[in-house]
A and B are shown apart, each in its own frame.
Chain A
Amino acid sequence: MIAIIFRLAWRNLWRNNRRTLIMLVTIAVGIWAMIFMTALMRGMVNKMVRDAVKVLPGHVQIHHPDYLDDPNIVNSIEEHPDGILLQVLNGPDIVAWSSRVRVAAIISSARESRSITLLGVDPATESEVSFVAGKIVQGSFLNDGDDDGIIVGRKLTETLETGLGKRIVIMSQDPDNEIVDRGFRITGVFDANTEALEEGYVFTGVTAAQNFLGIPGRVHEVAIVGRGFRQIDGMYQAVKNAAGPNFSVLPWTELNSYLGTMLGVMDGFVLVWFMVVFLALSFGLVNTLVMAIFERVREIGLMLALGVKPMIILAQIIVESVCLLFFGALTGNLVAWLTIRPLQDGIDLSSYAEGLEMFGYSTILYPEMTVEDVFTANVVVLSLGIIASLFPAIRASRYQPVEALIKV
């Protein structure tokens, strides 16, 4: 029985080669479009999020409870966490973490001054959580926490008309609201993707910053990097529980709610895109099946007359559509893989999108084909495709044998 269902389905498919091929191509293109476009969109958003998280930096941050509302120097926390929090931070779910001093300051050269954010960091841990250590283009990054050299962005050296080895003055406030200032020597210049970063952030050793500001042993944030920006829930909860009520612990989705929302919207958009492609595709599929069945009314009538049960007719048509969907999807997946693979090294958009860089977006797009997206695309097409073909199949199985037999 199964054998005859498959034999009939298969032969009927190849009865009109051209129509079947067109349908296969349609399904393949549909699946390809789903996977390929999604890979591009994912690549774009993920890159954006990763860049943004590196600037933040970290997937989760710990602060003084008042710091986010009022980033005042006094809203500081212990530089070295202890107890359970330390255990969690050194646990398996956390890739790296780093304590940082973070205050607003003014930087002045002989000619210009700018307001910036001064970061006091420990180079040993900082290089694992933020972008800057790997982006030094002149000089070198800090040696240790005591290093009182200053690392500035390339753009800032231009606006301040200064450069590597030159001295600049940094001015800020100590915990008693007294102005503190000090000369620093530029020992490194970094190149970020974006000018805003290059102009906005300045780095020095954590101890050097504490001494300068008069806050020994205190920092303003602990930046934590987990296994991936999408899988932070467990790690975030663990850190939050360990930190207790005296700290504010927030995931990146809340620290940068714009990006967090964007990621959610993106996930929804992928589904909408899938549905749009599928709808276009299902019209073709149902149409093809309806035509294919209309051509065969008489033989369906014949089979029913000979005593074939309506369910078998239904099954045969469903098998036909499953074959179409399966081979179409197979081709689509293959083509998607073949077209995405050569693009793994990134698509350079800089010539089309000069403005992007200004907004903090990098101009190289890396398509990302995820197992989940490929799986969803295939499940959407296969399952909904089968549901769509139920309609013509059920109609065919309800024919009256005699009426079908005499139809011409």
Chain B
Amino acid sequence: MSDCGCRKGNEQAENDKNGGNSYLPWPARIEAISEENSQIKTFVLAFSGDKRQQDYRYLPGQFLMVSVPHCGEAPISISSTPTRPGSVHLSVRRAGLLTNAMHGLAVGDTVGLRGPYGRPFPLETFRGKDLLFVAGGIGLAPLRSVINHALDSEHDGRIEILYGSRSPEDIAFKADIATWEATPKVSCRLTVDVASPGWEGEVGVVTRLLPQVDLDPKTSVALVCGPPLMIRFVMAELSRMGYSDERIITTMERHMKCGLGACGHCHMDDRLVCVDGPVFSLAELRGRDVVELRDKP
């Protein structure tokens, strides 16, 4: 689909354990844990073996298959940026068996990782363009990787970030947001579904922030990630604002068991999200049977 696919292939081969059993995870130690909110924790992970950690390559938008003892595996986006080597970050929301077990782990514990998998964001096409990020809840995790990548690589356009949370207490990645707010060419707008005492910011769904955006749809790119319903409304609104389908980019969540394009679970019409995605432009989704685009999901 895009030329990123090939690069991913090489990186994956490089990272694969001896090019051998692609199902075998690599142990990684939890170096630090930060509590983003009551539901989300960011795990800072380092591979056992300095060489492997040093040689580890990935790109924003890719994900890892994470193993937790007795719980199997789950796909989790990498929320750190490759411009800050030495560790990978996974920001995990409690959702069920594995993610709850992971929240019970402590610094020094070990998880298993394999990957990176999936097609990353098309970073090379962002050069010289303004970037609009629209995220809901845990959806900021993969976008955090792109945002920090853009800042570290001195992105030559403006950056606007819109972030919706359920309540002020649910706002995740507060430390990052504080840094972004303090960065000159970045503007960051937050909204919550339900306010609590002391909240003076916006209230309402994240689409309500879109009219405040001061970017030209003809010269900027919009990156969207969040729950399916949010993706649908935001994409529709961006289209109305004049963003072309090629300039609206999202990342899809599907049930995944292998990450290798073999198990079939992540199918989305004729595509396998784990290898053809998870990053797609709206142009690539159009005409396909995709629940996020359907009027009645």
Answer whether A and B are interacting partners.
Answer: no
